[in-house]
Structure 1
Amino acid sequence: MSANCLLDIENLQVSFFTPAGEVKAVSGVSYTLNHGEVLGIVGESGSGKSVSAYTLMGLIANPGKIVGGTVDFNGHQVHKMTEKEFRKMRGSEVSIIFQDPMTSLNPVFTIGSQLMEMLRLHTNKNKEERKARAIELLRLVGMNEPEKRLKQYPHEFSGGMRQRVMIAMALACEPKLLIADEPTTALDVTIQAQILELMVELKKKINMSIIMITHDLGVVSDVCDRIAVMYAGKIVEIGSTDDIFYNPKHCYTEGLLRSIPKLHEKGHERLVPIEGVPVDLLSPPAGCPFAPRCDKCMKICLRQMPEYTEISPGHKSACWQLQKEQFENAEGGNKE
C-alpha cells in the first residue's frame, strides 16, 4: 500500500451458505481508496455493492462469510479481525450511513442520548463535553435549534432531518472512512441534493474518504472522483467519473447510461432498458455474468470470464468485446 492509500481490497470473495447452496455474493472484487477520495459503487440490486462495503465493518452476519481475498484498511487486516476488534474500529475509524434512517435510529431514545452514546463509547469526554459535542455535530449538519433537537425523538423529525442526524452520528468521532449506503433513496429530490451537498462539504472539512453505494448514476456524477460498476458480484468497469460517463467501455455500463433520462434532449426519447434478468448467484455462469443480457455477446463471453483491459491509467474494464476491438485496431495498424 502507498502512503496515501487508506483502503486496499484484493480479490475479495464473500459467500452466503444457505440451505439451497452457496450464494457467491462477491466474486473477486479488487480496488483501492486514497485519503480524501470519494468512490462510487453502482449497480442494480443484488450486484454485491453493499456486501463488499459491509465487509469493512464486520457486518456480514451468518450465513455470510469471507471465503477469499484480503482487506487492508488504515493498518488493519480486516479479513483477520475479531468481533471485539471490529467494535473498537466501528464509529471511530469507519462509519456507515444506512439507507433508511428511521430503521437505524432507536425510537425509544432521544436524539441526544443516541448521539452521546457514540461519544461515550469511543471518546474520553465527560457528560458535559459529550453534550457540547452533540450540539456542535447537529449544528455542523445544518440542524436548526440543536439544543432543542437533543431532547426530541426520531418520530418528531422529517426524513431529511433524520438522515442529517445519522450523518452527525457517523461523523461524531471524525472517522477516516464514511460508507454511505444509498443515503438519499428514501428522500425526496430537493432533500437528496441538500444531503449530497452536505456530505461533500463535510468531506472537505475533515479530509474524509467516502464510499458511496447507489444504483443511481445521477447521484454519483457530481460527488465521486471514481466509479466502480458492479454486476453479479464482480466489478466489470472502474475509472474516473469522466471515464465512466464519457468513455464507457463495458456493455453493462453503456446500458446503465442509456437508461438515464436526459433533460437536455429535444422532443421525446424512449428510455432503453437492459433486457433480461440478473444471473442466479447460486449457479453463476462460467463466462461473463452479463453475457446472457448483452446484445454484443460472443461465444467466448459465455465460456470464459475476460481479464481486465486497461483503457487509460486508472480506467479498466472486463469485456471480451473491448479486447476484440483492441486486437482489430492493432491488426489494422500492422497492415498499414
Structure 2
Amino acid sequence: MNSCILDIRDLEISFFTQAGEIKAVNNISLQLKDGEVLGIVGESGSGKSVASYSIMGLIAEPGKIVNGNIRFNNHTIETMGKKELQKIRGKEVSIVFQDPNTSLNPLLSIGSQLIEVIIRHTNKTKKEAKERAVELLGLVGMNEVDKRLKQYPYEFSGGMLQRVMIAIALACEPKLLIADEATTALDATIQAQILELLLQIKKKNSMSIIMITHDFSVIANICEKVAVMYAGRIIEYGKTEDILYNPKHQYTMGLLKATPNINSHIHEKLVPIKGSPVDLLNPPLGCPFAPRCEKCMKICLRSMPKNKVISDDHYTACWLLEKKLWS
C-alpha cells in the first residue's frame, strides 16, 4: 500500500489587499499517495495554482496561510523558513509552469540553466552536472542533445521549451512534480507527447504528480483522482471515472457540458456556464456557485453545504444531495 506523501488539512490562504481580504483558498483538505496523479480542475481564479504553490512555500506577499497544515514528505511546510524551503524546492518538489518563456533566462543557454539547477541541488561536479544534463534532455525526447545544450531559448519551439522545463524540474528526481497548465499552450500532438512523457517518467521514478488544468481531456489521459475547485473550495472530489461519468455537483456538470467530446458521434452543442465567477472580496454566505446554478434553492444562498460522501473517495458539497430537504 502506497504511503501518503502529501497531506493538506483545512488549508486557508488569503491575500490582504487595500480593498480587503481575498480568500483565495477556503478550507480545503487533500491527500496524495506515492506515485499517484491528482488533477485539480476549475476556471481561472478558482484557487488551483495558489493551493499548489503553497506546497512549495511560494505564497508571496500580500498572500498568507491563515489556517491549516501542509505535510509534505515529512516536512511541515507552513512552519519552514526560506532557507529550509530552498533545500526542498527542486530536490523534493518541482514545478513546471504554463509559459516556459517567462521561466527561462533568454540571456543564458539551455545547458547553463540546466547545469546550474543540478549543481545547486546536488553534490555533482560541473562535469557530472553536464553529463546529467545530457541524460535529462535525452530523457525528455530531445534530439541532438549536445547541440541543444549550447542553444538559447529563442531557438526552441514551444513544445521543445516545455520539454526543457520538464527536464529542469526532474533534474534532482523530485518526489512530487506540480504541472501548472503545462500543456495549455501546446498543440494537441505535442500535448499528447508531453503527457505520455510524464507518465513514463512517473513510472520510472515512482513520482507523484499534481496536474493543474481546466482541460478534462488532460484529466482523462493522466489523472487517477480529481479535485474540482471553485471560489477557493473543493466542491467535488473523486476518482477520475466518477468525476467524468458520474458527476454530482452542478458546477462539475457545467464544466463537462462546456467541454467538447471528440469521441461522441453526436454533434452536441457546447453549453457555457452562465454568469461570472464569484467576487472573492464579497463571497456569498452560502454555496459560492449558487448565483450561477440553474437549480439554486433558497438554502443554497443562505448556508454552505457540508461534504456529502457519494462512495469511496468520492464526495461533493451540494444541498441537492441532502435527502432531508425532500422528506
The TM tier, using the shorter chain, reads over 0.9
Aligned-pair CA distance for 1:128: 1.0
Q: For residues 307-326 of structure 1, what are the structure 2 equivalents within 5 Å?
A: 307-324=306-323
Aligned-pair CA distance for 1:187: 1.1
Which amino acid in structure 1 is aligned with residue 27 of structure 2?
A: G
> For residue 277 of structure 1, what is the aligned residue in structure 2?
276
> For residue 113 of structure 2, what is the aligned residue in structure 1?
114
Q: For residues 130-279 of structure 1, what are the structure 2 equivalents within 5 Å?
A: 130-266=129-265, 268-279=267-278
Which amino acid in structure 2 is aligned with residue 270 of structure 1?
A: K
Find the residue that maps to 1:24 and give its secondary structure: strand
Distance 1:266 1:37 in 2: 32
Aligned-pair CA distance for 1:265: 3.7
Which amino acid in structure 2 is aligned with residue 43 of structure 1?
A: G
Distance 1:188 1:266 in 2: 23
Cα displacement string for residues 207-248 of structure 1 (whole angstroms, at most 9, x for unaligned residues): 000000001111111100000000000000000001101110
Q: For residues 45-124 of structure 1, what are the structure 2 equivalents within 5 Å?
A: 45-124=44-123
Distance 1:310 1:45 in 2: 27
Which amino acid in structure 1 is aligned with residue 155 of structure 2?
A: E
Cα displacement string for residues 58-116 of structure 1 (whole angstroms, at most 9, x for unaligned residues): 11111100000000000000011111111111000000000001110000111111111
> For residue 334 of structure 1, what is the aligned residue in structure 2?
none
Give the 4+ runs in structure 1 shifted more than 3 A: 264-268
Q: For residues 31-42 of structure 1, what are the structure 2 equivalents within 5 Å?
A: 31-42=30-41
Number of paired residues?
A: 327
Unaligned 5+ segments in structure 2 are none
Distance 1:266 1:3 in 2: 39
Distance 1:126 1:133 in 2: 10
Aligned partners of 2:13 and 2:25 also within 8 Å: yes
Instruction: Report the CA distance shift for 1:119/1:267 in structure 2 as closer, same or farther (over 3 A).
Output: closer
Aligned-pair CA distance for 1:263: 2.7
> Could you state the TM-score of these two structures normalised by the residue count of structure 1?
0.95
Unaligned 5+ segments in structure 1 are 332-336
Aligned-pair CA distance for 1:261: 1.4
Distance 1:186 1:52 in 2: 22
Percent identity for Structure 1 against Structure 2: 65
Q: State which drifts further: 266-275 or 278-287.
A: 266-275
RMSD: 1.3
Find the residue that maps to 1:222 and give its secondary structure: helix
Which amino acid in structure 2 is aligned with residue 97 of structure 1?
A: V
Cα displacement string for residues 26-71 of structure 1 (whole angstroms, at most 9, x for unaligned residues): 0001010000000000000000000000001111111100000000
Which amino acid in structure 2 is aligned with residue 24 of structure 1?
A: K
> Could you state the TM-score of these two structures normalised by the residue count of structure 2?
0.98
